[in-house]
Structure 1
């Protein structure tokens, strides 16, 4: 290529032909399996289009950030480290995906399979000292995915906390008095309900901290700041839980302050709603793309 060769103009020409001919190209790209990948510019926020080799490995769509063995990763790879949501055009269909960047042994095994399909990628790796990223494009149109299941868990926890709030209201406005004259009193019922709720919430957050968040961090570097924030929110929620558990366990009708209990439950509800809302906005799409909802049948 000459020094005055315009790479961007060439790409635009190839993309135009790709779209006009439903993914089929002539000349040097004739017979190749290609896709147009649209990312969001990390600095500009603008849509950026790239024509890439498109492979299917173990039923997953894969593109490789080879840049023909150049010493630096291509711009599109840099973009997905900041925003992993992409658009994929294959000629036959267009779909939205979330781009994962496997690392370590997972990346190495995937790259081995890439080279089995197309040995040219092995030649590109031999030209550079950088480890060429392999990118898995997970479709976001999964039905009944893990992210939707997570929202269902959140809704159940919301309902359980709302019921605790109603019980606290009854203690404050005096409507619990009649119930408290016959066993089990409302205080006992509330302690049982609180134990169930707090145990479920703690188990849910422990599972996220130990497994879900590390898995997402490995696959989607762009989610790292959000995952850190979610972990910090877990700590705030845990402190509120412990305080509420102490208040409920120590509640004595006529002696304890039901207003304080109700107010701290309100604080927990507000904190959890902020947490659930943020979590659903940031990781549900990634979870839906990675896995189906658990089956307990």
Structure 2
């Protein structure tokens, strides 16, 4: 509540309710205005946040402006898209996902000039602040399932699920070693430790291949099609480097495995660390790029 007794959050909730109840039409100060509801993921909270915003369509692309009515700070929703650029857009008659991008430099200036030509009030807002008001484009993500049953994003999730299952199996093998100890070779049959080592090396090779494919194939294609995903792709690439270090530490420990000598508690701890990091990585990747990947092509068919 402000000093003047105006509850901005309550006002926004009322606008959102009216928007959804009347197919995007809102009265009062927004009567006749073209609005969208933009749902972002909170940069700090990870929770969904919905904001009603004026929208312009320039060269067929919806554009919103982080004006905050000329305030000296960027609105919260803009901070959110810088961390999580995949957003949900409601027009009143349809809802779709989009990638939000804020061009810099001359590109921003040219786009802002076109915005002001259509809506001079945004120029007045810029005159009120030294803050360079961002302009945000919303590139629609079309699912792709109309063209193919399984897309590249679905294939990504399937690969993650396979890696999750393999890692869970590897952790069970180490638990068995801790519980019962390793057995020596019996008539040429490898002991549990040997099976664990083989399984671990195969898993690490598969994970490395998966991440190499993303870095050299999937991520460049996404960056070309959806430039607004750049911060997401940079974060994912950095996480690949961290995971690779964890893999090397794990491989070194497994390669030197000796029954009765290797510190199995440390091995289990390293596995748990890798599993935790990977799950966080997989979940973030699935939340941010799966829908976009599904637009790029069908999943490969290995049948």
- Whether TM exceeds 0.5 here: the answer is yes
What RMSD, in angstroms, separates the aligned Cα atoms of the two structures?
5.5
Computing the radius of gyration from Cα coordinates, the structure with the larger value is 1
Structure 2 residue matching 1:18: 3-state secondary structure: helix
From the superposition, tell whether residues 85 and 120 of structure 1 become closer, same or farther in structure 2 (CA, over 3 Å).
Answer: same
1:150 aligned residue (156, 161, 167): 156
1:287 Cα offset (Å): 1.3
Does the CA contact (< 8 Å) of 1:115 and 1:122 recur in 2? no
From the superposition, tell whether residues 193 and 77 of structure 1 become closer, same or farther in structure 2 (CA, over 3 Å).
Answer: closer
Does the CA contact (< 8 Å) of 1:41 and 1:48 recur in 2? yes
Q: Deviation per CA, 1:32-81, whole angstroms, max 9, x where unpaired?
A: 43212345777899976532133567887553324466654334323444
Alignment of 1:296 with 2:294, yes or no, is no
- Which residue of structure 1 aligns with residue 101 of structure 2? 101
- 2: distance between equivalents of 1:291 and 1:46? 23
2:249 aligned residue (235, 239, 247): 239
- Which residue of structure 1 aligns with residue 186 of structure 2? 177
Q: Structure 1 length as normaliser, TM-score?
A: 0.61
Any stretches of 5+ residues in structure 2 without a counterpart? none
Q: Structure 2 length as normaliser, TM-score?
A: 0.60
Structure 1 residue matching 2:74: 3-state secondary structure: coil
Any stretches of 5+ residues in structure 1 without a counterpart? 249-255
Does the CA contact (< 8 Å) of 2:86 and 2:100 recur in 1? no
- Which residue of structure 1 aligns with residue 54 of structure 2? 53
Structure 2 residue matching 1:173: 3-state secondary structure: coil
- Which residue of structure 2 aligns with residue 74 of structure 1? 75
1:207 Cα offset (Å): 5.4
Alignment of 1:202 with 2:208, yes or no, is yes
Structure 2 residue matching 1:178: 3-state secondary structure: coil
- Which residue of structure 1 aligns with residue 93 of structure 2? 92
Map residues 114-153 of structure 1 onto 2, 5 A cutoff. 119-120=117-118, 124=122, 127=126, 130=132, 132-136=134-138, 148-153=154-159
